[in-house]
Structure 1
Amino acid sequence: MTDRQRQPKIAILSESIGVIRMIIFPAFLIFFKGENNWQIKLLVVAGILALSVVFGILKWWCSTYEITPHEITLTQGIFVKKRAHIPFERVQTITRTQPIYFQPFEVFKVSIETSGKNDDKLEFKALLLPQIEAIEALRKQAQTKITEGSSIAAALPKVDAQYQINNRDLCLYALTSLGSLGTAGGLFVAMTTLNDFLPNRVQNYLDSWINNQTFEIYAVLLVFVVIIGVLGAFIRLYNRYFQFTISRTGVHLGITHGLLTKQNIQLRISRIQAVHYEQSLLRRLVHLVSVSVLLASSVADKGDKIKQTCIMPVVKENDTTDVLQRFVPKYHFPRPEKAPTVSGASVYQLRYIFMLDCLVLGVAFILYGLVKYMTNMHVPYELLILSLIAVSLFGYSLIATYIKMLDQAVYFDDDYLVIQTSLNFTKHTYFIPREKIQGFKTSQSWFMINKNIQHFSVFVRDSDSAQHVTLRYLKQSAIQEIGNWATRVK
């Protein structure tokens, strides 16, 4: 298996779609904003599509790969040739993704990541399942070594484990997602952008209709947008985590999920840096937890802002420990205790957030006044809208800050550090093995020095960067105790 090979020809489709995504916005502008007639516009768009297919063919032809028992090599580039070598023993995760247009052909997009930076990985636009299985087999063979495998394998049960999310919990997870707010915001931005491309007559009609509506109509429109956002978030999450299944074979975890776009991830247990529990405000009410892991690799979920790898989208809170220990048996999951904050810590944090809100609102209102003066803009119910914005910002941020201070908790024993905090009403709990801690730091402002108060942050490797987990307004004596524990040599 040393001959140079090309990916299946269906990769041309994937390459062409990638080119189209790069030029779709300029093509959209040409089609709707140009002064030419429809025939010329269609001709230009057809030419752009044809050009994308040509580039797709060239990129496919110039991309070759070579596999040996020890490494995999990928060569690509039309004008500048780039060749990447990755030994199988350095491979941390193998991710295969199958978009809906690939499913009739039984091919997958494949990403092979190491523990290096984000560009230290190989990406294949299309591979057949036997080719992927051959790569995974060579990876497992190369990583079956006494130096790593004997000690870990001895601690693992002989029987492999498997867990699949049930449909009821998945629906609850999707319905309790706050991503609907982002979907509603994206819908609003899309409608605003689309309005610029409508004919002037239609724009004037819509502007006149909106400016002459009552407050009740605005409220109904807002509710409608929120409902659309909830439905959009539900469909997105249900599609992503449909039939989510996690299994363990030896020292490797396998994760599969997806309805329209199917994805399979293979990762090594030894590369887990920490286990992360996440509970939004709504999921606390229904006692559900989302579980992810922080990995030492360049893998990242492009659909999320954070780069953690989800291993259980939703699991019942009382069952979390029993289920997880089947897949990461070396971990244990004790409950953290209330953080040793100083007296009045909540007041200090609330005061800080209040001052920050005043600064943000002051700058925003000044900018709004300048824009209004320069454009002679008229906003109906201006005072009411600005007041609602100010009250909402202060109320949301101050209540979220108070909950954050209540949620702060910490625990450590000989082998693990557990830190609990929250952000925007979402509770986060990190279970960090002592040997995986990359470092920590303390910080304090000038008025905290005389009060012996400090903020404490722990650094944990997360993909190709680091995750900072912070506790605020702790007693200096407690931080010193944690620091001595972290730096103590066993």
Structure 2
Amino acid sequence: MNDQPHRLSPIALLILWVKNVIALWPIFVGGFFSVFGSKKSFKEFLFWLGLILMVIVLTLGWSILRYLRFTYAVAPDGLTIRSGVFIRKTNHIPYDRIQTVQRQQWFFLKPLGLEQVSIETAGKETRKAEGQLAAVPTAVADTINRYRQGIGTEAATSPAAETADADAATQTRVINAEPEPDAAYKINSHDLNQYALTSLGFIPFITGMLWVLNKAQEYLPDSWYQQAEHAITGLAIYLLIGLSIIVLVLGFAISYLNIIQKYYHFTLDRTGNELRTSRGFFQTNTVSARLSRVQAIRFKQSILRQWFHLTTVQALLASGAADDEQSNDLVLMPVIRQRSAMTDMRKFISWLPAVIPDLQPIPVRNRWYYVRNMVLGNLALIVAPIIFASVLWLQVSWWVWLLPVGGLWLIIMALQGQYAATTAAITIAPPDQLVIQVGEVWTRQRYYVRKKDIQAMTLAQSIWMKPRGIAHLSIHVRKGNSDQTITSRYMKADLAKQILSWYQPLP
């Protein structure tokens, strides 16, 4: 790859335009319902239609300007990006400052040999990566990674490339072959199916579907909604139950297929001081991150996966390039047997202990605090306000449903509190690690954090906690560009002070 400035591939113009349109989705959704809603005059119809067309034209024009004013150059001393429509900005990124390289390739980019590349450095302060190339040849990221690893490259232009656009004109010939990984893992079909079948991802999907239906009521014509409501209330009870089952099955099927395509052909390898993951069917997502950016390792088990003795392993990175189902955590192992998790992960993260250390659980006499907090919190913030609102605006007959449903919800929250209490534990793992386990939303999470990666540690005691010898201990770990706080609640105060002294010995 030569060091001359290049433009992005022309398809990047389409990608930039689509992103701009998506960013303005409320305008398009509101305009759509306004155009096709009921009780709209012809003038109102023309107004909303004209507004939508104007936004489309403006976003397209802005995307063209951004595309024409954007160039990049991959040189031996670093990556240089020039951008900006009215104010020109030059960003030079030396290779030794690059911490993570993320490559995303949608299925429609594969035949073209293009991908999106995101570059992050140690000085990153915002969610947005310092270097973002919307559509470039795959040779670009290959060249950047080889320069990072100190492997020599030589530019050579193929005859066919002479007629292509400037972005794809340069091909890279490697002088030194890419080194073999020190450790490698590839998910098999059985493990991937286990991971998808034991996921609780259908719950957010169903919740999201109910939210969409609720929002649709605000925009759809009243006659449509009333007809649908009348049709549903006219169904027999067994048909309503059947409809509910269909919704659950549909939610589970969509969650299953989404996980299958997301972690399709998942691989993990370690070469020297770098980890690399790759996955995806419709979009191949590859993340290369330095081991020094790993702030903590998390072993995560939903209650369903606990029953099957399966666990998911994630890395908390000081980077936003990684991504998980719901957060910016890098998945190292989507699913692995609990008994072999530590042994297998040590091949990639050498500082992990060989076996799970003995954790010190929360004293039994303190566990009821978890239950109390969950019940009182949900009673004050959810159940009581709903029942109070029903007294003011709903019929008395609604109480027949609200009271037992509210009581059932409080029982579920009490069980969640008990689960969190029995899960909570903590210990110091020699020579320099803290292991802390917490239970959140029916999920057990065990964190392994080295002392040097703990950003801060806080011991908290209220007035009534001190005479009872109880304390909260919170540790702060960098995650992306923010803070991940992990708290062990209602633990022994002496143990909390011992850990605090281990972290920061008193003079």
Superposition TM-score, scaled by structure 2 size: 0.85
Map of 1:146 onto structure 2: none
Equivalent residue number for residue 159 of structure 2:
none
Please list, as runs of the form range in 1=range in 2, the aligned pairs for 1:100-139 lying within 5 A after superposition. 100-115=107-122, 116-117=124-125, 118-119=127-128, 121-139=130-148
C-alpha separation between the residues in 2 aligned to 1:389 and 1:428?
A: 29
Number of residue pairs aligned between Structure 1 and Structure 2:
468
Residues 95 and 147 of structure 2 are in contact (CA less than 8 Å); yes or no, is this contact kept in structure 1?
Answer: yes
> In structure 2, what is the Cα distance between the partners aligned to 1:418 and 1:280?
19
1:443 counterpart (460, 467, 472): 460
1:302-381 pair list within 5 angstroms: 304-339=325-360, 341-360=362-381, 361-370=383-392, 372=393
Identity %: 25
TM-superposed deviation, 1:90: 1.4
Aligned to 2:265, the other structure's residue is in SS state: coil
Q: Within 5 Å, which residues of 2 pair with 1:415-430?
A: 415-430=432-447
What are the superposed Cα offsets for residues 429-461 of structure 1, whole Å, 9 maximum, x if unpaired? 111112212121111223212112101111112
Post-superposition CA distance 1:448-487 (Å, at most 9, x none): 1211210111111211112111111111111121122222
C-alpha distance in structure 2 between counterparts of 1:425 and 1:30, whole Å: 41
CA contact (8 A) 1:71 1:86 kept: yes
Q: Is the 8 A contact 2:181 2:269 kept in 1?
A: no
Query: Is 1:404 the counterpart of 2:444 in the alignment?
Result: no
Asked if the contact 1:338/1:408 (under 8 Å) is kept, the reply is: no
Is 2:85 aligned against 1:78?
yes
Contact 1:75 1:83 in 2 (8 A): yes
Contact 2:31–2:49 (8 Å) recurs in 1: no
Name which of 264, 269, 283 aligns with 1:242: 264
**What is the letter of the counterpart of residue 338 of structure 2?**
E
Q: Tell me the equivalent position of 2:402.
A: 386
Q: 1:262 aligns with which of 260, 269, 284?
A: 284
Whole-Å Cα distance in 1 between the matches of residues 487 and 304 of structure 2?
A: 23
Matched residue, 2:16: 15
**Aligned residue identity for 2:339:** N
**1:192 is aligned to 2:214:** yes
Amino acid at match of 1:237: I
Whichever residue aligns with residue 164 of structure 1, its letter is K
The whole-number CA distance in structure 2 between the counterparts of 1:242 and 1:474 is 41
CA distance in structure 2 between the aligned counterparts of 1:488 and 1:141, rounded to whole angstroms:
40
SS in 1 for 2:472: strand
Task: Output the amino acid matched with 2:138.
Answer: L
Please name the residue that 1:145 is paired with: none
Aligned to 2:155: none
Is 2:187 the partner of 1:165?
A: yes
**CA offsets 1:173-198 (integer angstroms, 9 cap, x no match):** 11211111000111122233334444
Is structure 2 residue 64 aligned with structure 1 residue 29?
A: no
Q: Which amino acid aligns with 1:344?
A: R
Taking structure 1 as the reference length, the TM-score comes to 0.88
Cα distance in 2 for residues equivalent to 1:351 and 1:204: 42
Which SS does the other structure have where 1:92 is aligned?
A: strand
Contact 1:96-1:108 within 8 A present in 2 as well: yes
Worse-superposed segment, 28-37 or 256-265:
28-37
Unaligned stretches of 5+ residues in structure 1: 143-156
Any residues of structure 2 matched to 1:456-475 within 5 Å, and which? 456-475=473-492
Residue 252 of structure 1: aligned partner: 274
For residues 99 and 408 of structure 2, the distance between their equivalents in structure 1, rounded to whole angstroms, comes to 45
Task: State how far apart, in whole Å, the 2-side matches of 1:388 and 1:239 are.
Answer: 40
SS in 2 for 1:447: coil
Deviates more, 1:292-301 or 1:455-464: 292-301
Q: Tell me by how many angstroms 1:224 deviates.
A: 2.1
TM-superposed CA distance for 1:170, in Å, is: 1.0
Equivalent residue for 2:248, pick from 215, 221, 226: 226
Partner of 1:58: 65
- Give the Cα–Cα distance (whole angstroms) in 1 for the partners of residues 335 and 67 of structure 2: 39
The question of whether the paired residues in 1 share the 8 Å contact of 2:287 and 2:322 is answered with no
* 1:137-194 per-position Cα deviation (integer Å, ceiling 9, x unaligned): 122229xxxxxxxxxxxxxx99621101111111111121111100011112223333
> C-alpha separation between the residues in 2 aligned to 1:478 and 1:391?
37
Q: Retained in 2: the 8 A contact 1:341–1:474?
A: yes
Checking the alignment, whether the CA contact within 8 Å between 2:119 and 2:129 is kept in structure 1 is no
Matched, 1:141 2:142: no
Alpha-carbon separation, structure 2, partners of 1:31 and 1:349: 47
The one-letter code sitting in structure 1 at the alignment partner of 2:287 is: I
Structure 1 letter corresponding to 2:121: T
Q: Deviations over 1:235-254 (max 9, x none)?
A: 11111111100111111111
Distance in 2 (CA, whole Å) between partners of 1:274 and 1:192 is 40
Asked if 1 retains the 8 angstrom alpha-carbon contact of 2:287 and 2:321, the reply is no
Is the 1:340–1:478 Cα contact (8 Å) retained in structure 2? no
- Contact 1:336–1:410 (CA under 8 A) maintained in structure 2: no
Cα distance between partner residues in 2 of 1:388 and 1:167? 43
Q: 1:272 to 1:202 in 2, by over 3 A?
A: same
2: CA distance, partners of 1:77 / 1:365: 54
RMSD, aligned α-carbons: 2.6
Task: Identify if the C-alpha distance between structure 1 residues 200 and 409 changes in structure 2 by more than 3 Å, giving closer, same or farther.
Answer: closer
User: CA 1:410–1:16 in 2, change beyond 3 Å: closer, same or farther?
Assistant: same
